Amino acid sequence: MLAVGCGSTRPGTDAAAVQTGIASYVADHLRDRPTASGEPYDPEALTAAHRSYPFGTIVRVTNLSNGRQVIVRINDRGPFVSGRIIDVSRRAADALGFVQDGLAQVRVEVLPRHP
C-alpha cells in the first residue's frame, strides 16, 4: 500500500503560503539589468524577488505598520540579506509606503491561480 498525499494540510493552510518578515526594495540603478527569470528589472513594474516561490507566482504583500497592500508577481531570486523575506520593486515599495525607510515588516500571501 502506498500512502501518498495523506497529510492533514488543507488547501490554503500551507505554511509557505503565508510568511511574515522584513521586505526591502530593489535599487533604481539596477534598472534593465536581468533578473533571475531573464526579465530586465523595471522599477515601475509590480514585481518582486523571493528565494523559493516559482517565477510567475502572484503574492499579496501587506505592510504591517500601515495596512497598505500591493499585489506583485515573482520574477527574481532574493533577497540575500539575512532576515529579509522579499525584495519588491520601487513601485511596489512606494505603494506599500516604505521607500523613505527602505525596509518594512510585511506579510506575504501566495494568491491562488485563476484558470
Asked whether residue 29 is domain-assigned, the answer is yes
Write down the pLDDT at residue 115. 62
Write down the pLDDT at residue 73. 98
Write down the pLDDT at residue 98. 98
Give the CATH number for residue 86. Answer: 2.40.40.10
Asked whether residue 9 is domain-assigned, the answer is no
Domain that holds residue 29: 17-110
Mean confidence (pLDDT) of the chain: 88
Grid cell locating 61: 504583500
Asked whether residue 56 is domain-assigned, the answer is yes
Write down the pLDDT at residue 14. 54
Distance of CA 33 to the CA centre of its chain: 19
Cα-flanking dihedrals φ and ψ of residue 15, to 5°? Answer: -60, -35
User: How many domains, the chain?
Assistant: 1
Q: How confident is the model at residue 16 (pLDDT cuts 50, 70, 90)?
A: confident
Q: Using an 8 Å Cβ cutoff, are 105 and 64 in contact? A: yes
pLDDT tens per residue across span 35-65: 999 999 999 999 999 999 999 999 999 999 9
Q: What is the pTM of this model?
A: 0.84
Write down the pLDDT at residue 1. 36
Asked whether residue 61 is domain-assigned, the answer is yes
Asked whether residue 6 is domain-assigned, the answer is no
Asked whether residue 11 is domain-assigned, the answer is no
